[in-house]
Amino acid sequence: MGVEIERKFLLRNNDWRSLADAGTRFRQGYLCEAGPGSVRIRIEGEQANINIKSATLNMSRLEYEYPVPLEDAQHMLDHVCIKPLIEKTRFHIHHQGKLWEVDVFSGDNAGLIVAEVELLHVDEVIELPQWVGEEVTEDKRYYNVCLVNHPYKDW
């Protein structure tokens, strides 16, 4: 059983950009997002996965992820998934022994930028980079599963 423990933040400024890698394009859609969990299809660069997460929208959630053929994932995104799809570029930044992921959204969520960091346990103390701003871990609007039905452009 997988458990994901992560915190989400808005960004204070663009200083993170000089520290980031080149980024990877993501395209993802949800097959279902109601009930006890969500099921999504995600293409990350040239890799595709199906991901199941528990419906709790907080720091700690159950998570399962398995590879699927890229062609099948593309077909499901185009023909089976709930629209709009989530489109973003993910950048990686190493800071104080932690891997930070900065998601720059496009499409219906253009203008939204969120940083995430995974933790080993819910009480883990981390040093926040100076470019990290307000924490939004507990604000469900910032979860990808919620951005499908309430995209950033409509806020």
Identity of the residue numbered 134: E
SS3 of 21, please?
coil
CA-to-CA dists, residue 8 to 33, 55, 114, angstroms: 20, 16, 7
Catalytic residue among 30, 64, 66, 152: 30
CA distance 88 to 70: 18
CA distance 153 to 108: 6
Partners of 48 in the beta sheet? Answer: 43
Is 30 in the active site? yes
Partners of 93 in the beta sheet? Answer: 100
Catalytic amino acids?
30
